[in-house]
A and B are shown apart, each in its own frame.
Chain A
Amino acid sequence: MTTSAMDQSSSSPAMSFTVLASTAPVLAPRVGKLAIAGRKTIATPHHVPLTSRGTVPHVAHDVMRQHTEINSLYAGLEDFIARKQPPVYNTPAADHESPLKKFICVPEDMPLILGPRRFPPIPCPPANTSSSIALLTSTGFTQLDAHDYVQAVQKLRPDIAVGMVDLANKQPGSKRRARMVDRTHAWNRDALEQLYGPSVAEEKKAKSAYFAPILPLDNAQQSLYLDDLESEFRWDISGLALYQSASLGFVPESLADLPRLLFSEPETPHTILRDISLGADLLTTPLLGVSSDAGIAMDFVFPVPDVLQDGSAKPRPLGTDMWKSDHAVDTSSLGEGCTCYACKNYHRAYVHHLLVAKEMTAWAILQIHNFHVMDAFFAGVRESIQRGTFEQDVRMFNCVYTSAMPESTGEGPRLRGYQLPANGPNQPRRMPKAYGLLDGAAQKFAASQSEVATPDAGADELEEQGFAEKA
Chain B
Amino acid sequence: MLCHRLLARHPTRLFSTALSVSIATMSTTAAPPLKKMPSALTFDRHAKCSTTKARACTLHLPHGSVPLPIFMPVATQASLKGLTYDQLRETGCMLCLNNTYHLGLKPGQAVLDAVGGAHKLQGWDRNLLTDSGGFQMVSLLQLATVTEEGVRFLSPHDGTPMLLTPEHSISLQNSIGSDIIMQLDDVIATTSPDHARIKEATDRSIRWLDRCIAEHKYPERQNLFCIIQGGLDLELRKQCCEEMVARDTPGIAIGGLSGGEAKEEFCKVVDTCTEILPEHKPRYVMGVGYPEDIVVAVALGADMFDCVWPTRTARFGDAIVSSGTLKLSHKSYADDFSPVEEGCQCVCCRPTDQGGLGLTRAYMHHITAKETVGAHLLTIHNVHYMLTLMGKIRQAIIDDQYPAFLRKFFSDIYGGDRSKFPAWAVGALRGVGVDLLADS
Chain A interface (Cβ < 8 Å from any Cβ of B): 52-63, 66-67, 80, 83, 87, 90-92, 103-105, 107, 138, 328-329, 331, 341, 345-347, 349-350, 352-354, 356-357, 359-365, 413, 416, 418, 447
User: When the two chains form their complex, are residues B357 and A364 in contact, meaning their CB atoms are under 8 A apart?
Assistant: no
Contact with A along B106-146 (1 / 0, CB 8 A): 11001100110000111100000000000000000001000
With A345-B85, A345-B86, A349-B115 in contact, is A58–B123 under 8 Å at CB?
no
With A53-B370, A105-B357 in contact, is A357–B102 under 8 Å at CB?
yes
Point out the residue from A53, A56, A413, A447 that lies within 8 Å of B143, measured CB to CB. A447
User: When the two chains form their complex, are residues A350 and B114 in contact, meaning their CB atoms are under 8 A apart?
Assistant: no
Which chain B residues lie closer than 8 Å to A56 at the CB level? Answer: 373
Shortest beta-carbon distance from A356 to chain B in Å: 5
User: When the two chains form their complex, are residues A359 and B376 in contact, meaning their CB atoms are under 8 A apart?
Assistant: no
Which chain A residues lie closer than 8 Å to B417 at the CB level? Answer: none
> Can you name 14 extra interface pairs (CB under 8 A) apart from A61-B377, A91-B337, A105-B358?
A53-B366, A53-B370, A62-B87, A62-B90, A67-B84, A329-B114, A331-B120, A354-B79, A357-B77, A359-B79, A359-B81, A360-B376, A364-B82, A364-B376
Which chain B residues lie closer than 8 Å to A57 at the CB level? Answer: 371-373
User: When the two chains form their complex, are residues B107 and A60 in contact, meaning their CB atoms are under 8 A apart?
Assistant: no
Which chain B residues lie closer than 8 Å to A103 at the CB level? Answer: 360, 362-363, 366
**A429 to B334 alpha-carbon distance, docked (Å):** 32
User: When the two chains form their complex, are residues B106 and A55 in contact, meaning their CB atoms are under 8 A apart?
Assistant: no
Which chain B residues lie closer than 8 Å to A331 at the CB level? Answer: 115, 120
CB of B206 within 8 Å of the partner chain: no
**A361 to B373 alpha-carbon distance, docked (Å):** 10
Point out the residue from A52, A104, A349 that lies within 8 Å of B363, measured CB to CB. A104
Point out the residue from A105, A345, A363 that lies within 8 Å of B123, measured CB to CB. A345
With A61-B373, A356-B107, A360-B375 in contact, is A346–B123 under 8 Å at CB?
yes
Which chain A residues lie closer than 8 Å to B365 at the CB level? Answer: 87
Which chain B residues lie closer than 8 Å to A357 at the CB level? Answer: 77-79, 102, 106
Which chain B residues lie closer than 8 Å to A87 at the CB level? Answer: 334-335, 362, 365-366
**Which residue of B has the minimal Cβ distance to A346?**
B123
User: When the two chains form their complex, are residues B84 and A361 in contact, meaning their CB atoms are under 8 A apart?
Assistant: yes
User: When the two chains form their complex, are residues B77 and A62 in contact, meaning their CB atoms are under 8 A apart?
Assistant: no
Chain B interface (Cβ < 8 Å from any Cβ of A): 77-87, 90, 102, 106-107, 110-111, 114-115, 120-123, 143, 334-335, 337, 347, 352, 357-360, 362-363, 365-367, 370-377, 380
**Which residue of B has the minimal Cβ distance to A354?**
B79
Tally of A-B Cβ pairs under 8 angstroms: 134
Point out the residue from A80, A138, A353 that lies within 8 Å of B78, measured CB to CB. A353
User: When the two chains form their complex, are residues A59 and B359 in contact, meaning their CB atoms are under 8 A apart?
Assistant: no
A-B CB contact pairs (8 Å), 25 listed: A58-B372, A60-B82, A60-B380, A61-B359, A62-B87, A62-B347, A62-B357, A63-B376, A67-B84, A80-B366, A87-B335, A91-B362, A329-B111, A345-B85, A345-B123, A349-B115, A350-B78, A357-B78, A359-B82, A361-B80, A361-B81, A361-B82, A364-B83, A364-B372, A413-B372
**A345 to B82 alpha-carbon distance, docked (Å):** 15
**A371 to B106 alpha-carbon distance, docked (Å):** 28
Shortest beta-carbon distance from A367 to chain B in Å: 10
**A329 to B380 alpha-carbon distance, docked (Å):** 29
**A260 to B31 alpha-carbon distance, docked (Å):** 78
For the complex of A and B, 8 pairs with smallest distance between CB atoms: A360-B82, A329-B114, A361-B79, A55-B373, A357-B77, A60-B376, A353-B107, A359-B79
User: When the two chains form their complex, are residues B372 and A83 in contact, meaning their CB atoms are under 8 A apart?
Assistant: no
User: When the two chains form their complex, are residues B366 and A54 in contact, meaning their CB atoms are under 8 A apart?
Assistant: yes
Which chain B residues lie closer than 8 Å to A341 at the CB level? Answer: 84
**A53 to B363 alpha-carbon distance, docked (Å):** 9
With A360-B372, A361-B84, A413-B372 in contact, is A353–B358 under 8 Å at CB?
no
Most buried by B among A66, A107, A329, A356: A329
With A62-B347, A331-B115, A361-B82 in contact, is A90–B376 under 8 Å at CB?
no
With A59-B373, A349-B107, A360-B81 in contact, is A107–B352 under 8 Å at CB?
yes
Which chain A residues lie closer than 8 Å to B337 at the CB level? Answer: 90-92
Which chain A residues lie closer than 8 Å to B106 at the CB level? Answer: 353, 356-357
Which chain A residues lie closer than 8 Å to B358 at the CB level? Answer: 105
**A364 to B123 alpha-carbon distance, docked (Å):** 15
Shortest beta-carbon distance from B314 to chain A in Å: 12
**A291 to B352 alpha-carbon distance, docked (Å):** 32
Which chain B residues lie closer than 8 Å to A329 at the CB level? Answer: 110-111, 114-115
Shortest beta-carbon distance from B343 to chain A in Å: 18
**Which residue of B has the minimal Cβ distance to A446?**
B159
**A91 to B372 alpha-carbon distance, docked (Å):** 23
Shortest beta-carbon distance from B245 to chain A in Å: 35
